[in-house]
């Protein structure tokens, strides 16, 4: 199992760092994904037999790295999903670029489209 950087964990949620180029959830490539990695981590840490419940609250695109929050209970998943729907759950993005940007406004708009 790849190293998983756990930032925070309690009885309801687990917050982890997603490194770039790992999908948030399983896709047609069959590559290891964050949902599977976190499930494996919980299964091993708590010696759980069988399937481990883990709710995917939000996703990050495959090439993107960042912080992901997973729900460890169905109640937490429901409450967090509701916060995402109601836009209470705040997302912040930081882009790191390499090189000189000629026209900041025009290039920035292209990134948003």
Phi, psi of 9 (to 5 degrees): -155, 135
Q: Is 61 a catalytic residue?
A: yes
Which of 10, 27, 33, 61 is an active site residue?
61
Residue in 52, 65, 53 with CA at minimum distance from that of residue 24 = 65
**Counting beta carbons within 10 angstroms of the beta carbon of residue 92, is it exposed (0 to 12), middle (13 to 18) or buried (19 or more)?**
exposed
Task: Compute the distance between CA of residue 64 and CA of residue 96 in angstroms, rounded to an integer.
Answer: 11
Sequence-ordered list of residues with C-beta below 8 angstroms from that of 58, at least 6 positions apart, any chain: 68, 69, 84, 89, 91
Q: Which residues are catalytic?
A: 61
């Amino acid at each position: 199992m790849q190293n998983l950087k756990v930032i925070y964990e309690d009885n309801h949620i687990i917050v982890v760092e997603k490194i770039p180029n790992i999908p948030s959830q399983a896709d047609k490539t069959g590559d290891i994904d964050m949902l599977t990695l976190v499930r494996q981590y919980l299964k091993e840490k708590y010696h759980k037999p069988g399937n481990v419940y883990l709710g995917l609250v939000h996703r990050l695109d495959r090439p993107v790295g960042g912080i992901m929050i997973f729900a460890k209970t169905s109640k937490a998943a429901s409450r967090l999903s509701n916060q995402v729907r109601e836009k209470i759950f705040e997302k912040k993005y930081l882009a790191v670029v390499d090189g000189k940007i000629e026209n900041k406004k025009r290039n920035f708009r292209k990134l948003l489209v």
